[in-house]
Amino acid sequence: MQAEWILMGGPVLSGHTGWRSVEAVAVAGGKVIAFGTRGDVMAACGPGTQVIDLHGRAVIPGLIDAHLHILGYAMTLDTLAVAGLPSLEAVRKAVADQVVCKAEGEWIVGRGWDQDRWLERREPNRHDLDRVAPGNPVYLQRNCNHLAVVNTAALRLAGITRETPDPPGGQIDRDPETGEPTGMLRENAQALIQRIVPEMGHERRRTLLRLAMREALSYGITGVHTDDVDRAAGGFEQADDLFRSAIADAPIRVTQMIPGDWAGAAAERGIVTGAGDEWYRYGQVKMFADGSLGGRTAALLEPYSDDPSTRGIYIHGREAFIESVSRIHALGDQVGCHCIGDGAATLFVDAVEEAQRRAPRPDARHRMIHAQILNRDLMHRMRQAGIVADIQPVFMKSDGYWFAERVGVERARTSYAWKSLYDLGVNLCGGSDCPIEPLNIWYGIHCAVNRQDLNGYPAGGWNPAERLSVAEALHLYTTGASYATFQEGVKGTLAPGMAADLVVLDRNPFACDPAELKEIKVDMTMVGGRITYQIA
């Protein structure tokens, strides 16, 4: 077969060769047709072949973000961004600036605050927002999306009073003296506000999703596993329309998660794990076991070290959760469960083991999303159960400053324990969880290898024994991510017959200083043999 494209003149790297460098790669018909020496690959050159001289630049397989909310991220482009602001006072100023631009009664919606990075080091409340926005309802989610602060105007519109009961799996914070809501809503309590916030129009979502997909291509992302059907798109048909439209403009392979509560009805319509085509398909059924570590709603086996009054929040009761996992497993679906605390992780492993006892199914590849606070016994049980650890190394740049305070020194030793999981033989994949963290996947690779923030702090890294090598880090976002969707024979490497999804980098990640990984730039992205991004 004659090649359509040949890339040579720089190191060509792929996981299937142990990341050893070869001289060239050839592409035709959307697939890799040759990979190896210059002479071997040039045998596929013909009159119509376009040869790209790399001029020393490196080629790697296309990167796959194994966990994010790309439509959710796209929609944040139209909201108030308070991520990175250094203080509560700075957030109040940002809200005040919005009030000037809004009509009386118009909503102010934003996200991204993190009280652990503020000068005040405390959670906000409705009074903080009332001072600057008395006449506009305000809804600001924390950067983890598991809790939010609202002002009095928003509480009033939602009908939330001291008599409003906590919803299942959620908590309305209350003043200990008066019992009045403080404005802080945790986990499912956020839905009391979300249901009355004005919805973004479908066409605006379409425009913003295209922008987000183009941005993803600029980072070398050729595939995403995204969770957007329920909260962002509002249904399967809406998500299908939005994503297929965006893919036509910015070709990225999309694996869409199925909302846990919708799994049964979805299966009746043929929407199950693996359904779809090479561009838009369905993956895991997404469930939640707990909340966030930063908001102290992650479910721990023992109390929080910095707040012994709580062990976090379980989103579901134990028996109901195990029944749900067993039911979804019996449908033949893959379950992907959000588990941050060791209590939630234990519950999920228990549920997977029970599901397999009732209906044995080899190679189910259920996924534990986040897998942040673990212990050695849990890691061994994950391997035995074939559970994939769906991790987000980029969290380290934010959580590194305080996670040991939350869980204590002993639990911190097995927290964010990527190398321990890898060495035990647990299959891993990596994601950004954007918009929780930035879309730039190289930040995650940097954190996996260095276990430092983006400024190189701390020297030596947080718990450096858990660092991954560059090869192991790239594995998370290539073959690891493909394995997590049963597609390791389709994409993730540059072997002949595999999808021609590849990226040209401005430097070799194996040869540069590890501190430079976050600075790597993508010069070209190819998806399915088509150049989808290229620097001018």
The pLDDT tens digits for 243-279 are 999 999 999 999 999 999 999 999 999 999 999 999 9
All structural domains of the chain: 1-61+492-536 (2.30.40.10), 65-69+201-491 (3.20.20.140), 79-194 (3.10.310.70)
pLDDT of residue 97: 94
pLDDT of residue 287: 98
pLDDT of residue 105: 95
Q: For residues 137 and 168, is the Cβ–Cβ distance under 8 A?
A: no
pLDDT of residue 143: 87
% of the chain with per-residue pLDDT over 70: 100
Give the C-alpha separation, 402 to 6, whole Å: 48
pLDDT of residue 435: 94
Judged against a pLDDT cut of 80, whether residue 536 lies above it is answered with no
**Closest among 390, 301, 287, 388 to 346, alpha carbons compared:** 301
Is cis: bond before 124, omega within 30 of 0?
no
In this structure, the chain runs to a length of 536
Mean pLDDT of 9-33: 95
pLDDT of residue 117: 86
Give the C-alpha separation, 56 to 506, whole Å: 9
The pLDDT tens digits for 368-398 are 999 999 999 999 999 999 999 999 999 999 9
Judged against a pLDDT cut of 80, whether residue 89 lies above it is answered with yes
pLDDT of residue 369: 98
Strands 108-113 and 80-81: parallel
For residue 93, name the pLDDT band (cuts at 50, 70, 90): very high
pLDDT of residue 335: 98
For residue 506, name the pLDDT band (cuts at 50, 70, 90): very high
SS3 7: strand
Task: Return mean pLDDT, the chain.
Answer: 96
The pLDDT tens digits for 178-209 are 999 999 999 999 999 999 999 899 999 999 99
Judged against a pLDDT cut of 90, whether residue 66 lies above it is answered with yes
Q: For residues 226 and 240, is the Cβ–Cβ distance under 8 A?
A: no
Give the C-alpha separation, 501 to 220, whole Å: 9
pLDDT of residue 16: 86
Mean pLDDT of 455-459: 96
% of the chain with per-residue pLDDT over 90: 96
Phi–psi pair at 38, nearest 5 degrees: -55, -45
Q: What is the pTM of this model?
A: 0.91
**Closest among 146, 139, 145, 126 to 186, alpha carbons compared:** 146
Mean pLDDT of 504-517: 98
In angstroms, the Cα distances linking 490 to 31, 32, 485, 495, 500 are: 10, 11, 10, 10, 10
Mean pLDDT of 49-64: 98
Using alpha carbons only, give the angle 140, 142, 143 rounded to the nearest 5 degrees.
125
Mean pLDDT of 9-15: 96
For residue 73, name the pLDDT band (cuts at 50, 70, 90): very high
Judged against a pLDDT cut of 90, whether residue 511 lies above it is answered with yes
The pLDDT tens digits for 95-126 are 999 999 899 999 999 999 999 889 998 999 99
